[in-house]
Amino acid sequence: MPQLFALAREYADSSAREVVMFSSVMRAQLSLAWVIGPPLAFMLALNYGFTTMFSIAAGIFVISLALIAIKLPSVPRVEQPSEEAAALAQAGGWQDKNVRMLFIASTLMWTCNTMYIIDMPLWISLELGLPDKLAGILMGTAAGLEIPAMILAGYYVKRFGKRRMMIAAVAAGVLFYLGLIFFHSRTALLVLQLFNAVFIGIIAGIGMLWFQDLMPGRAGAATTLFTNSISTGVILAGVIQGAVAQSYGHYAVYWVIAVISVVTLWMTGRVKDV
């Protein structure tokens, strides 16, 4: 996945396409897959069995492999002079405090999101007494709303800049997690998904591009760093959610998420714009 988006950045640059919108549309396609994929998988498994479901999944991989082999463009690598490459690495690598700060902030963003995803189904059924199926409805609603959020973010990023849009996204995340603490009705939880969609829709696309801009000439490394922040956040989320829920209950998890999101907002504001 990191290499796919790195290729997208290099292809957009080489073909004079609008980089932000091109990447935003690609990222929106991932959210669309999350909207379509799970219901389709459940339908196939329940009506035709797991063998059919996995056979169709394997067939989709074969089609993808054929498309990659035949249609995926190859972008020639631009070799940098050794001194220039060293300067780029020195200026845009891990030793850059802005890259480090953005990595930590991105990690905390995905920690919040994953803690919510892990805990929410248990929380709404065990503590709020709401129907189990509401968890799927909330996740599907958020994924569906993320698509226009990503596309609109790609459209407006030139006007407002990546830093301001990321700060606005994290602020929406803070409102979302605070809202989960105080509003527990079915309608309120559905409305709050709008803030969740703005949060994830923007950081998933603009966050990756911000890494790439902070590390010019190293799209692959920048995208991998962004992806690693997601993986690190997932690991931290599992540990923190499990420990807090076991010791203090599911309700306390959302206070912890809210505090982490506020810290994330402060750290995001300390990263320079590019």
Are the beta carbons of 202 and 169 closer than 8 angstroms?
Answer: yes
CA distance 239 to 100: 22
H helices present in 130-185, as ranges: 134-160, 162-182
**Residue written as token pair 């920048």:** 222
> In angstroms, how far is CA 116 from the centroid of its own chain?
13
pLDDT interval class at 224 (50, 70, 90): confident
From residue 202, alpha-carbon distances to 56, 180, 271 in Å are 32, 20, 16
Residue 182: phi, psi to the nearest 5? Answer: -105, -20
CA distance 81 to 43: 54
Question: How is residue 79 annotated by DSSP?
Answer: P
Structure tokens at 214: 């902070």
Cβ neighbours of 257 (radius 10 Å): 28
Flag whether the pTM goes above 0.95: no
Q: Mean of the pLDDT values across residues 160-176?
A: 94
Q: What is the pLDDT of residue 81?
A: 47
From residue 105, alpha-carbon distances to 229, 258, 271 in Å are 9, 14, 9
- Share of residues in the chain with pLDDT > 90 (%): 48
Q: What is the pLDDT of residue 272?
A: 84
Residue 128 parent element (H or E):
none
Residues counted in the chain? 274
CA distance 21 to 84: 29
Q: Is the dihedral of CA 162, 165, 171, 175 positive or negative?
A: negative
Largest CA distance in the chain: 63
Whether 87 shows a pLDDT value over 60: the answer reads no
**Residue written as token pair 């956040």:** 233
From residue 122, alpha-carbon distances to 128, 193, 237 in Å are 9, 17, 15
Mean pLDDT is lowest, of 28-32, 124-128, 240-244, 250-254, for: 28-32
Question: How is residue 126 annotated by DSSP?
Answer: I
Of residues 159 and 171, more confidence is placed in 171
